[in-house]
């Protein structure tokens, strides 16, 4: 058999496993709570690995190693900021949000929690946040489908449209039938696959090069050769500080602020068995994240030395992880590594499909629609997943579209619009519904303006001004609009604190 045949067999086994998990989860789903939150029965390990896998897209296995290969460890500040942000998210948000969503009308989505938390009879909070989620995540899902099409085109020479539709179809199938449980269980498999690939690749490369000392020498030699040929563009790839100003480093690390407002991540907190599980979930989730982030960083760095000292060439830095795997591993193992890239893409897409579906059904349709039976609600949820997937696939037909450029923008938009509101909702009793709504809009508007002015964007990632604008506006408007003491809100806030501690 040819190398490509081995690789296709490995990817085929991966696809079959994903579909099998979705089939299993289908028979565990009987209500909308099951479909959207797996009945709030996720163990800490499943919640942690699911949150991590749904967070890390193809950027982890391609974008980050490529950036490290091209510029050095200074690019690792994004990973450092994300790790710190993820830790604080688990530490600050997870236990309180799990407790509060149960105490406050057993909310199963972020918009429904906001409405219930503030007793917003106008429903403006729920509708506004639902629309924001639906619009941004439709493009987010589409970007994942584009990545899938490009992956198959680059790896196997297939037509872009075939690869895009294949990835979209497999992901849609197990998400459509398996719901949140199916997405979470496949996330666990995908997360473990990503972890294994990112540990094995740098370890085997170091061994092949003769050890850690020889690897470091090769990296320094590659930098010396580059600096001799390009005196105007010096590189010191083993330095965390060389090549970036303090402002640029802070801007890169500020990606971590986005975690507090990402609906597809924090919904995992809501699905845990209890708030007490957050501690174990944090340890598992952050342990996983540190290992995969370190693996991605070291893969890019070690790749510099490898391609400098061997006859192999690397045309595109973002393929350093893929090319190392194809050179060093048996074709079947290389196929599993390729499957890890697909896992990163598909785990994110499946989570975003479900959040879009919940926004469409739970947060928009049910406001105006009639009461439905549990079976009808689940069917409506599946139709929501299908509708979003179809629209996203139509947007992804053209691989040259600028959809992928919206990913960083959408991360900043969610982080600035929802992040401060989530934190204030959980830690500040005096936040009002008008304050939350005004802050949410202010954060989104500032991100939208800042992110589209190149001179500002080049100085600072737009999430920073957007995040602080949301905080300031939310606090000021809350202080002005707090006209009466809502006993029910205060009672629920106290109940959340008590529930969290138990």
Read off the pLDDT of residues 315-353 as tens digits, 9 standing for 90 and up.
878 888 888 888 888 889 888 888 888 888 888 888 888
Q: State the pTM of this model.
A: 0.88
Q: For 41-398, CATH number?
A: 1.20.1730.10
What distance, in Å, lies between the first and last C-alpha atoms of the chain? Answer: 58
The whole-number pLDDT of residue 488 equals 86
* Residue 370 pLDDT class (50, 70, 90 cuts): low
Alpha-carbon gap, residue 231 to 227, rounded angstroms: 5
Residues 6+ positions from 340 with CB-CB distance below 8 Å: 61, 190, 193, 194, 196, 197, 198
The CA-based dihedral angle spanning residues 207, 210, 214, 215, taken in that order and rounded to the nearest 10 degrees: -30
Q: Would you say 256 and 84 are in contact if contact means Cβ atoms under 8 Å apart?
A: yes
Residue-wise pLDDT for 198-212, tens only, equals 999 999 999 999 999
94-103 vs 487-501: helix crossing angle, rounded to 10: 130
- If you average pLDDT over every residue of the chain, what do you get? 85
What pLDDT band is residue 363 in, cutting at 50, 70 and 90?
low
Q: Is the pLDDT assigned to residue 409 strictly greater than 70?
A: yes
Overall average pLDDT of the 45-51 stretch:
90
Closest to 42 in 3D by CA, of 267, 355, 264, 273 = 273
Please give the pLDDT value at position 501.
Answer: 61
Q: Residue ranges per domain, the chain?
A: 41-398
Give pLDDT tens digits for 225-238: 888 888 877 778 88
For residue 115, what are its two tokens? 């409405």
Residue 127 — pLDDT band, cuts 50, 70, 90? confident
Quote the percentage of the chain above a pLDDT of 70: 94
**Is 263:355 a contact under the CB 8 Å cutoff?**
yes
Q: Is pLDDT above 70 for 47?
A: yes
DSSP letter at 58 equals T
For the stretch 62-97, pLDDT in tens is: 788 888 998 888 888 989 999 999 999 999 999 999
Q: What is the pLDDT of residue 351?
A: 82
Q: How far apart are CA 257 and CA 262, in angstroms?
A: 10
Three-state secondary structure of 73-139: HHHHHHHHHHHHHHHHHHHHHHHHHHHHHHHCCCCCCHHHHHHHHHCCCCCHHHHHHHHHHHHHHHH
The pLDDT value recorded for residue 146 is 82
What's the pLDDT band for 178 if we cut at 50, 70, 90?
confident
Paired with 42 in beta bridges are: 272
Q: How far apart are CA 80 and CA 88, in angstroms?
A: 13
Query: Residue 406: is its pLDDT beyond 70?
Result: no
């Amino acid at each position: 058999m040819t190398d490509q045949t081995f690789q296709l067999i490995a990817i085929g086994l991966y696809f079959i496993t994903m579909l099998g998990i979705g089939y299993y989860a289908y028979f565990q789903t009987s209500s909308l709570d099951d479909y959207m939150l797996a009945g709030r029965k996720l163990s800490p390990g499943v919640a942690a690995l699911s949150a991590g896998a749904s967070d890390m897209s193809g950027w982890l296995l391609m974008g980050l190693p490529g950036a490290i290969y091209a510029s050095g460890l200074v690019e690792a500040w994004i990973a450092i900021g994300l790790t710190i942000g993820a830790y604080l998210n688990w530490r600050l948000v997870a236990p309180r949000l799990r407790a509060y969503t149960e105490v406050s009308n057993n909310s199963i989505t972020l918009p429904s929690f906001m409405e219930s938390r503030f007793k917003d009879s106008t429903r403006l909070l729920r509708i506004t946040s639902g629309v924001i989620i639906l619009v941004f995540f439709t493009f987010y899902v589409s970007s994942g489908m584009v990545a899938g099409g490009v992956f198959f085109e680059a790896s196997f020479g297939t037509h872009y449209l075939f690869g895009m539709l294949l990835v979209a179809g497999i992901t849609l199938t197990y998400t459509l039938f398996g719901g949140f449980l199916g997405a979470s269980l496949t996330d666990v498999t995908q997360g473990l696959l990503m972890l294994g690939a990112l540990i094995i690749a740098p370890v085997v490369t170091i061994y092949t090069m003769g050890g850690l000392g020889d690897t470091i020498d090769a990296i320094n030699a590659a930098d010396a050769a580059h600096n001799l040929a390009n005196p105007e563009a010096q590189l010191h790839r083993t330095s965390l500080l060389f090549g970036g100003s303090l402002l640029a480093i802070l801007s890169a690390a500020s990606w971590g602020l986005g975690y507090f407002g990402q609906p597809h991540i924090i919904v995992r907190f809501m699905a845990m068995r209890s708030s007490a599980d957050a501690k174990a979930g944090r340890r598992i989730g952050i342990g996983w994240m540190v290992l995969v982030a370190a693996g991605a960083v070291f893969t890019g760095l070690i790749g510099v030395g490898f391609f400098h000292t061997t006859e192999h060439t690397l045309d595109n830095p973002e393929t350093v992880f893929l090319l190392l795997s194809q050179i060093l591993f048996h074709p079947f193992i290389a196929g599993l590594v390729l499957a890890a890239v697909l896992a990163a893409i598909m785990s994110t897409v499946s989570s975003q499909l479900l959040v879009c579906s919940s926004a469409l059904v739970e947060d928009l349709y049910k406001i105006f629609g009639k009461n439905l039976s549990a079976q009808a609600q689940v069917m409506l949820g599946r139709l929501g997943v299908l509708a979003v997937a179809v629209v996203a696939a139509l947007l992804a037909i053209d691989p040259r579209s600028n959809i992928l450029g919206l990913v960083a923008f959408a991360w900043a938009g969610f982080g600035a619009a929802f992040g401060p509101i989530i934190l204030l909702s959980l830690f500040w009793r005096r936040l009002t519904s008008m304050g939350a709504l005004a802050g949410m809009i202010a954060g989104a508007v500032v991100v939208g303006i800042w992110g589209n002015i190149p001179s500002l964007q080049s100085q600072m990632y737009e999430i920073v001004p957007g995040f602080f604008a949301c905080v300031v506006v939310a606090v000021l408007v809350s202080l002005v609009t707090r006209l009466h003491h809502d006993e029910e809100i205060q009672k629920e806030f106290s109940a959340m604190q008590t529930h969290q501690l138990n």
